[in-house]
Chain A
Amino acid sequence: MGELKLMKGNEAIAEAAIRAGVDAYFGYPITPQSEVIEYLMAEKPYETTGMVVLQAESEVAAINMVYGAAGTGKKAMTSSSSPGISLKQEGISYMAGAELPCVIVNVVRGGPGLGTIQPSQADYFQAVKGGGHGDYHMIVLAPASVQEMADFVTKGFDLAFKYRTPVMILSDGLIGQMMEKVIMPEHTPRWTDEEITEKWPWATTGKPGSRERNIITSLDLDSGRQEQHNIHLQKKYKEIHENEIEFEEYMCDDADYLFVAYGSSARIAQKAIKLGREKGIKAGLLRPITLYPFPAEAINRLAKQVKGILSLELSAGQMVEDIRLSVGCDIKVEHFGRMGGIIHSPAEALQALEDKIIGG
């Protein structure tokens, strides 16, 4: 059994990384996620598990340190918040192109620009549609609890190495800062250098005489080969769609109305559903756990059952576009969400359901 702790979401990420046998964390301070690197620096895992922890000169440098380490088959990760994640897009695109595994945590704050340090979910488009240049996707996991912050580190690395692709944990300032009880996993030892060389034949660990040199690159100036590489990437994303969609249903069996919400908004939606049921409004929740790949089929299925869908997001409405693309029939799909770091209350969410879906 794991160990029961009371922790902030950001701390849970850091502690889980140490326990998951992560080899390296490279980061740069930014509110509201600085606890990740602060916790790691205080815990000094480089003296226990041998995990490297380094504060880089910028988010750009941090993601590129991740690139270097990932290219050698090591489990490398970084974390940041919205403005910092924008800076990391170059490195993420290169890693997607070079097919490198890594975990990137985004503890989202309000934008655009420097915005605010308060929670937001306005980086949905950036996370699920690519973010950087070129045709690529990350696998995007959306934790809705401190427990999932911890669990998704291991899950993230498993997926990242399975598909050789960057994985993002798309959290927000609320999940990052709030404290909850969390069961921490047992310690998994870091891979030995020999294990890495054996497990990942593509890794640049130094060329022995017995194999050809390994090259980590996203460049191919030959258009024909570059197109083939893109076709290969798209096949990989299709495979991810087929195998990795995860979601959770809450009170959907008898639901007349459906909330679709992830992360902190999913928690708020649960409460709104309870309030609604007290008034006789039968609503349910579909909570995407993977935002990419998106649970389109599940939404399509539930759309045939319910009279309307409300997307609840801490944004101007981003995921609502993917919900509309998923719904195959003629029902009402609307969005409600506060912005700029303000968190909608369960009462507001229920009122929005009544106004926009039931009464609208």
Chain B
Amino acid sequence: MKEEVLSDIINVENLVYKKTPLMTDNILSYCPGCGHGTAHRITMEVLEELGVWKDTIGIAPVGCSVLAYEFMNIDMQQAAHGRAPALATGIKRCWPHKVVFTYQGDGDLAAIGTAETIHACNRGENIVIIFVNNGIYGMTGGQMAPTTLPGMKSSTSPYGRDVHIMGNPLKITELVAELPGTRSVTRQAVHTPGNVRKAKRAIRKAFENQLKYKEGLNFVEIVSNCNSGWKMTPVHANKWMEENMFPYFPLGDIKVDGEIVNK
């Protein structure tokens, strides 16, 4: 219906962009300026472009993206906090020809779900993990995350993260790259059009790998902002992310076709 209306206004040959039908019309629950919406959209665009959405099962985590199933117009399961890779394992082992992915935040994947993450990666589960890292627990109101930077303030590190007391930020992406079970590991961002294009290419590659090979986990980290949790404007948050998050979590491929390319 919508396509017809649109084509009445814009000639098809001039149409350069349209919303993927794999995103529902539900209003996103994310804060203005948050990267989740973009990460959702490019993931769904990849599934549409690869033509595999009818055979795809996604897993939503606990965290800001707990309601991902409200926005992604595909079959989805909602996991307990951190357990998404275990659900994905159960599904993929039973339906090896289906496409399975998890979508998780840093608290979910790198704190409470560390064991599930590491072991799914180590077993080489043939799934895609999309890991959105914004260095904070967004949904519960801005508490310190496993990826909160040294000195960074949060509601549970109100004077800044003291690494001597609270430990260091966990570079779980570099960690899983070291495991023989991961095929591709990459770190991307979605705060500029250029980065969105790169991130989408990386997500597409991850899903292509899942379709092409029988083994190997494909891991895509997206470093994102949390302007609400960081208590910044969206513009300032993106600038702060470039200046502080990217040096600690450098963007680019870490593992390609089973080989570490960038340490």
A residues with a Cβ closer than 8 A to B are 23-24, 26, 52, 54, 56-58, 60-62, 64-72, 74, 76, 90-91, 94, 98, 193, 204-209, 213-219
Other-chain residue from A66, A209, A217 in contact with B69 (beta carbon distance below 8 A): A217
* Contact, CB under 8 Å: A217 / B83: no
Task: Give the chain A neighbours of B87 by CB distance below 8 A.
Answer: 64-65, 67-68, 71
A residues in contact with B76, CB < 8 Å: 204, 213-216
Residues of B216-230 at the interface with A, using a CB-CB cut-off of 8 Å, are: none
B157 within 8 Å of A (CB atoms):
no
A207 to B24, CA, bound (A): 13
Known A-B contacts A61-B86, A213-B74; A69 and B94 likewise in contact (beta carbons under 8 Å)? yes
Interchain CB contact under 8 A, B90 and A24: yes
A-B contact pairs, 11 of them (CB 8 A): A54-B89, A60-B83, A62-B86, A65-B90, A70-B90, A74-B94, A76-B90, A204-B57, A206-B57, A213-B74, A214-B76
B59 within 8 A of A: yes
Cα of A98 to Cα of B95 in the assembled complex, Å = 20
Given contacts A57-B115, A218-B78, contact A67 B83 (CB under 8 A): yes
A314, chain B: closest CB distance, angstroms:
31
Residues on B with C-beta less than 8 A from A26 are: 90
A residues within 8 A CB of B74?
206-207, 213
Chain A contacts for B119, CB-based, 8 A: 56-57, 61
Centre residue among B53, B69, B87 by max chain A CB count within 10 A: B87
Across-interface contacts of A62 in B (CB, < 8 A): 86
Docked-complex contact A54 and B93, CB < 8 angstroms: yes
New A-B pairs, 15, CB < 8 Å, besides A205-B75, A207-B74, A219-B78: A24-B90, A57-B116, A62-B86, A67-B77, A68-B79, A69-B94, A71-B77, A72-B91, A76-B90, A91-B80, A205-B95, A207-B54, A213-B69, A214-B76, A218-B78
> Do A23 and B94 touch across chains, with their CB atoms under 8 A apart?
yes
**CB atoms of B93 and A72 under 8 A apart:** no
> In the complex, what residue of chain B is closest to A207 when comparing beta carbons?
B75
B96 — nearest CB in chain A belongs to which residue?
A52
CB-CB under 8 A for A64 and B80, given A57-B115, A206-B57: yes
**Across-interface contacts of A213 in B (CB, < 8 A):** 69, 73-76
C-alpha gap A218/B83 in the complex (Å): 14
Q: Give A207 to B48 CA distance when docked, in angstroms.
A: 12
Query: Cβ of B259 < 8 Å from any Cβ of A?
Result: no
Q: When each residue 51-87 of chain B gets 1 if its CB lies under 8 Å from chain A and 0 otherwise, what string results?
A: 0011111011000001101000111111110010011
Closest to A90 in B: B80
* Pairwise interchain contact A205-B88, C-beta atoms closer than 8 A: no
Given A206-B55, A217-B69: A69 and B90 interface contact (C-beta under 8 Å): yes
* Docked CA distance A94–B62 (Å): 12
Minimum distance in angstroms from B92 CB to a CB of chain A? 8
Asked if A68 and B78 make an inter-chain contact with CB atoms under 8 angstroms apart, the answer reads no
Binding site for A on B (CB under 8 A): 53-57, 59-60, 66-67, 69, 73-80, 83, 86-91, 93-95, 98-99, 115-116, 118-119
Knowing A204-B76, A215-B76, A215-B78 are in contact, say whether A64-B116 is a contact too (CB < 8 A): yes
Q: Distance in Å from the Cβ of A218 to the closest Cβ of chain B?
A: 7
Cβ of A198 to closest chain B Cβ, rounded Å = 15
Q: In chain A, what residue has the closest Cβ to B21?
A: A209
A219–B70 alpha-carbon span in the complex (Å): 11
Query: Would you call A204 and B83 a contact (CB within 8 A)?
Result: no
A209 touching B86 in the complex, CB below 8 Å, given contacts A64-B80, A76-B94? no
Q: Which residues of A contact B78 (CB under 8 A)?
A: 98, 215-219
* Complex: chain B residue closest to A58, CB-CB: B115
A65 touches B98 (CB 8 A): no
CA distance A146 to B220 in the complex (A): 48
In the complex, what residues of B have CB within 8 A of residue A76's CB?
90, 94
Question: Cβ of B83 and Cβ of A214 under 8 Å apart?
Answer: no
B79 neighbours in A (Cβ, 8 Å): 64, 67-68, 94
Across-interface contacts of A57 in B (CB, < 8 A): 115-116, 118-119
Given contacts A90-B80, A215-B78, contact A207 B91 (CB under 8 A): no
Residues of A within 8 A of B67 (CB): 219
Nearest B residue to A74 via CB reads B94
Asked whether A206 lies within 8 Å of B98 as measured between CB atoms, the reply is yes
Q: Which of A54, A207, A218 lies at the interface centre, i.e. has the most chain B CB atoms within 10 A of its CB?
A: A207
Closest 5 CB pairs of A and B: A68-B90, A68-B87, A64-B86, A65-B90, A217-B78
Residues from chain B with a CB closer than 8 A to the CB of A98 are 77-78
Whether B75 pairs with A64 at a CB distance below 8 angstroms is no
Residues of chain B contacted by A52 (CB below 8 angstroms): 93-94
Known: A74-B94, A204-B76, A218-B78. A68 touches B88 (CB 8 A): yes
Question: Which residues from B are CB-within-8-Å of A193?
Answer: 95
Q: How far is the CA of A152 from the CA of B243 in the complex (A)?
A: 60
Chain B residues within an 8 Å CB radius of A218: 78
CA distance A64 to B55 in the complex (A): 21
Q: In the complex, which residues of chain B have a beta carbon less than 8 angstroms from the beta carbon of A208?
A: 54
For A217, list chain B residues within 8 Å (CB). Answer: 60, 69, 77-78
With beta carbons under 8 angstroms apart, the residue of A70, A91, A209 that contacts B83 is: A91
Let me know if A94 and B80 touch, CB within 8 A. yes
Distance in angstroms from A315 CB to nearest chain B CB is 29
Minimal Cβ-Cβ distance residue in A for B62? A219
A69 touching B80 by the CB < 8 A rule? Answer: no
B90 touches A66 (CB 8 A): yes
Q: Report the minimum CB–CB distance from A123 to chain B (whole Å).
A: 21
Q: Nearest chain-A residue to B97 (Cβ)?
A: A193
